[in-house]
């Protein structure tokens, strides 16, 4: 078994890797407050901390120590944390990826005949795993639509790409209501332009047909109610008032916790 980091497989780097444990859910950050005179604590909920993935690795016996060091030099260049976060795919769970980098030093233990063994600790600031092949949907009709997510096991933060013609003003708009949350786009949006609403980045922009950013899209939103897609069926209601709705593309960003 092995892994792929930044598009390069451990096998091609002469490294064998084994995933020895699996976190069913990421570590939690609990918000507790002690109240004088009251037993226990007040619970203000929790959220997820970063995830750490440990891989136990080895390098097959080489001709000599210099050959072992050469493999390790290549490993150090490949996994250099100064290059930032990269996509990590584990052979044991090939349908998803993490965004990760090395967290700790790599200390290789020299074994008999110039073989090596070491652990790789990858830290994932975003603890979620994302579908390697994302779910996508295209809606072309106003009214109630059903969007069904089949992948993942938790809510996702999708990207919406809206095409239409909306003049500037609060009386003309396109409403996108996802379950109980509504985004009202009040323009202006012209033909050939696409409004990209990214829930994960909590931002919006207007792009042209080539994907080039034209301007900030946040002023087009009456309120910053970014959509969330649940696992399973979601109701998405599209309403156009004195505006032209053309198409809504959805990148689900399906994920696992």
What pLDDT, on a 0 to 100 scale, did the predictor assign at position 23? 83
For 104-136, what is each residue's pLDDT tens digit? 999 998 888 789 999 999 999 999 999 999 999
pTM: 0.87
pLDDT above 80 for 151: yes
Give the whole-angstrom CA distance, residue 45 versus residue 202. Answer: 22
201's CB contacts (< 8 A; 6+ apart) are: none
Each domain of the chain, given as residue ranges in start order, spans 3-128, 134-256
Query: pLDDT > 90: what percent of the chain?
Result: 79
| C-beta pairs of 116-120 under 8 Å, 24+ apart in sequence | 116/58, 116/59, 116/68, 116/71, 116/72, 117/56, 117/57, 117/58, 117/59, 118/57, 118/58, 119/54, 119/55, 119/56, 119/57, 120/17, 120/54, 120/55, 120/57, 120/79
What pLDDT, on a 0 to 100 scale, did the predictor assign at position 204? 97
For the domain covering 134-256, report its CATH number: 2.60.120.860
**Residues comprising the chain, all counted:** 257
| CATH architecture type of domain 3-128 | Beta Barrel (2.40)
pLDDT above 90 for 12: yes
Q: Which tokens belong to 39?
A: 């037993």
For 56-112, what is each residue's pLDDT tens digit? 999 998 888 888 999 999 999 999 999 999 999 999 999 999 999 999 999 998 888
What pLDDT, on a 0 to 100 scale, did the predictor assign at position 237? 97
Q: Where are the alpha helices (DSSP H) in the chain?
A: 65-78
What average pLDDT does the segment 172-192 reach?
93
What pLDDT, on a 0 to 100 scale, did the predictor assign at position 63? 86
What pLDDT, on a 0 to 100 scale, did the predictor assign at position 124? 96
Give the whole-angstrom CA distance, residue 234 versus residue 144. Answer: 10
**Average pLDDT for the chain:** 93
């Amino acid at each position: 078994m092995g892994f792929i980091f930044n598009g390069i497989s451990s096998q091609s780097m002469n490294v064998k890797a084994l995933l020895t444990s699996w976190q069913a859910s990421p570590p939690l950050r609990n918000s507790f407050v002690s109240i004088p005179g009251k037993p226990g604590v007040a619970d203000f909920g929790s959220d997820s901390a970063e995830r750490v993935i440990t891989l136990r690795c080895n390098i097959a016996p080489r001709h000599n120590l210099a050959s072992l060091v050469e493999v390790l030099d290549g490993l150090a260049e490949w996994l250099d944390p100064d290059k930032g976060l990269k996509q990590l795919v584990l052979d044991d769970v090939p349908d998803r990826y993490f965004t990760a980098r090395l967290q700790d030093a790599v200390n290789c233990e020299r074994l008999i005949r110039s073989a090596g063994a070491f652990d790789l600790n990858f830290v994932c600031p975003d603890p979620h795993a994302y579908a390697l092949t994302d779910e996508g949907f295209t809606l072309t009709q106003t009214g109630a639509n059903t969007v069904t997510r089949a992948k993942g096991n938790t809510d996702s933060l999708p990207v919406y790409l809206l095409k239409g013609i909306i003049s500037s003003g609060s009386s003309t708009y396109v409403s996108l209501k996802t379950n109980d949350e509504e985004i009202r786009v009040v323009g202006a949006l012209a033909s050939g332009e696409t409004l990209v609403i990214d829930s994960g980045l909590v931002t919006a922009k207007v792009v042209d047909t080539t994907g080039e950013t034209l301007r900030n899209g946040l002023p087009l939103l009456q309120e910053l109610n970014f959509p969330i897609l649940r696992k399973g069926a979601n109701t998405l209601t599209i309403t156009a008032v004195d505006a032209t709705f053309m198409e809504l593309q959805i990148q689900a960003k399906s994920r696992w916790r």
